[in-house]
Structure 1
Amino acid sequence: MNLEAMTTRILLVDDDLELRTLLCDYLGRQGIEVSTLHDAGTLQQRLEHARPDVVVLDVLMPGVDGLTALGRLRTSGDDIPVILLTGRSDDVDRIIGLEMGADDYISKPFNPRELVARVEAILRRRRAVPSPAAPEQRKPFAFGRFKLDFQSRTLSVDNRTLILSATEFALLKVFINHSMRTLTRDRLIELLYGPEGDRTDRGVDVQVWRLRQVLEVNPSTPRLIQTVRGRGYVFVPDGEQHATQQPAVFS
């Protein structure tokens, strides 16, 4: 195992008793602490009393399904890592899940070793994101209707304060530090997670999509985080200049 010396804790939410038993046995032998729920209806209540490192959440369950449970978590501001399990062969659940805030997904059936590898990757990425416990001594940055406070890691708009997730804050900070520069997806991965970052291009696109939901009046026609076709993204603080009309400056 490559996980840190501290015991990794996983909460498995799945109505399949046989799968729960199999995974509990395998993961336990890997030194991972596993707790289980047979449905997602009480997931939020469980998390209020016990916080795992990662939630492994089945999509298709009776009652409250996995996507609904995930949506409730993200709407409440809970940024706990979530891996979705899906038995469908198409990409619908995967795409919807990523857009709703899932960190990863695995298609059933799967090898338990793959789950361990995905958990390791998520925890590595999470450790690479700066901790809120170490506020940055830097003046707030104003752009458009917004002001980002680096010390409190909050975003203000129209006299309202928005709480950003750690990933949203890190991505917005990268864009601010490289304003008006076209950043390729590979460069974004490097800036966010280091040179050994193992995020996919798709994962970066999902993170940008989520941040656009926070910043843009109309996310389908973004003005602050603009797409440079075939190259990547550019942050335009005044929201006026179109990236496609500017010379690309790669960082």
Structure 2
Amino acid sequence: MSSTKHLLLVEDDPDIAKLLADNLLEEGYRVDSVADGHAALAAIAGNRYDLLLLDVMLPGVDGLEICRRVRAGPVYTPIIIVSSKSSDVQRVVGLEMGADDYIIKPFALAEVVARVRALLRRVAALSEPVAVQADAVLVAHGLRIDAQSRSVALDGQPVALTAREFDLLHFFARHPGRMFTRLELLNQVWGYNHDGYEHTVNSHINRLRAKIEADPANPARILTVWGVGYKFAEADAADA
């Protein structure tokens, strides 16, 4: 394991923090550990981390607020929430705030390390240069979606998307006219340990529609198939 991966661990229980930090260090990661939300925000402001491990219940600023602030910033950082709050509602809230994964306490240390490793692998794969393919640039419904630069323009104007929003839009655009259930979208776009959190798909689609639809309440691009799921509208003749 490369020692260059720099992780921030935010955990106010000193015993749990030590166990996690020791195991992550053994894996070869660099680990900064802080015990409250304000210290976490200061650390994030002063460093470029490869991944954040966040507890939810923290002194000062809670983990969900930290997650929200990180996602509102210009740099995408993978986030895993580690929390004793185990209800489906809490997990959905965490994922909708932008977390990539949610681990419930008590946990097996090996599971945490495995999920850290898996998420870092996925992010690394997404950042690798891709071969030029026929669908490297997709054009449909006024959208220009560039897979290599991971950029989107609508009617010639750039659209700022999060990494997950881009993945979702690109997946839809590659399969115009095909209907996908929420679970299929989770498996294809989120990819890891998100079964049962279909509601987060709705949230991401609502945010995506707000950015690419003239009237998000009556979308023309990402369409709802009532009682089933969603699909991307088939291309107009002008897009061919």
TM-score by length of 2: 0.77
- How far off is 1:66 after superposition? 0.6
Q: 1:232 to 1:135 in 2, by over 3 A?
A: same
Separation in 1, partners of 2:21, 2:206: 38
Report if aligned partners of 2:187, 2:194 keep a CA contact under 8 Å in 1: no
Q: Unaligned regions of 5+ residues in structure 1, if any? A: 240-251
Deviation at 1:15, TM superposition (A): 1.7
Match of 2:18 among 16, 21, 43: 21
Tell me, in whole angstroms, the C-alpha distance in 2 between the residues paired with 1:16 and 1:199: 26
CA distance in 1 between counterparts of 2:165 and 2:80 reads 18
**Secondary structure of the equivalent of 2:54?**
strand
- Do the aligned partners of residues 207 and 33 (structure 1) sit closer, same or farther apart at CA in structure 2, a change above 3 Å counting? farther
Aligned to 1:244: none
Q: CA distance change for structure 1 residues 129 and 29 in 2, over 3 Å: closer, same or farther?
A: closer
Q: Single out whichever of 16-25 and 206-215 deviates more from structure 2.
A: 206-215
Number of residue pairs matched?
230
Which of 214, 231, 236 pairs up with 2:208?
A: 214
Alignment partner, residue 113 of structure 1 = 110
* Aligned-pair CA distance for 1:70: 0.7
Output one character per residue of 1:11-57: Cα deviation in whole Å (capped at 9) or x when no partner: 10112222212222233233333211122224344234433322100
CA gap 1:43/1:222 in 2 versus in 1, 3 angstroms: farther
Partner of 2:2 in structure 1? Answer: 6
Which residue identity does 2:66 align to in structure 1? Answer: A
Does the CA contact (< 8 Å) of 1:128 and 1:192 recur in 2?
Answer: no
Call closer, same or farther: CA 1:22–1:227 in 2, change over 3 Å.
same
SS in 2 for 1:62: coil
> CA offsets, 1:148-173, max 9 Å, x none?
34454322347752233333323222
Alpha-carbon distance between aligned partners in 1 of 2:13 and 2:156, rounded to the nearest angstrom: 47
Q: Which letter maps to 1:172?
A: L
Q: SS at the partner of 2:38? A: coil
1:33 matches 2:33? no
Q: Alignment partner of 1:155: what SS?
A: strand
Moved more, 69-78 or 220-229: 220-229
**Are 1:200 and 2:223 an aligned pair?**
no
Moved more, 104-113 or 180-189: 180-189
User: Are the equivalent residues in 2 in contact too, given 1:129–1:166 (CA < 8 A)?
Assistant: no
Amino acid at match of 2:26: R
Q: CA deviation at 1:103?
A: 0.5
Q: What corresponds to 2:95 in structure 1?
A: 98
CA contact (8 A) 1:130 1:166 kept: no
Q: Do the aligned residues in 2 keep the contact of 1:57 with 1:85 (CA within 8 Å)?
A: yes
State yes or no: 1:58 paired with 2:61: no
One-letter code of the match for 1:212? N
Distance in 1 (CA, whole Å) between partners of 2:88 and 2:36 is: 23
Q: What is the root-mean-square deviation in Å for CA atoms of aligned residues?
A: 3.3
Report the more deviating stretch, 20-29 or 100-109. 20-29
Q: CA separation in 2, counterparts of 1:113 and 1:33?
A: 17
In 2, Cα distance between equivalents of 1:157 and 1:121: 33
1:110-140 C-alpha deviation (Å, 9 max, x unpaired): 2211211211221233234354x55857556
Shift of 1:191: 5.4
Aligned-partner SS, 2:176:
coil
Instruction: Please tell me whether the aligned partners of residues 41 and 69 of structure 1 are also in contact (alpha carbons under 8 angstroms).
Output: no
Q: Report if aligned partners of 2:54, 2:82 keep a CA contact under 8 Å in 1.
A: yes
- TM-score, normalised by the number of residues in structure 1: 0.74
Change in CA separation of 1:125 and 1:189 when aligned onto 2, cut-off 3 Å: farther
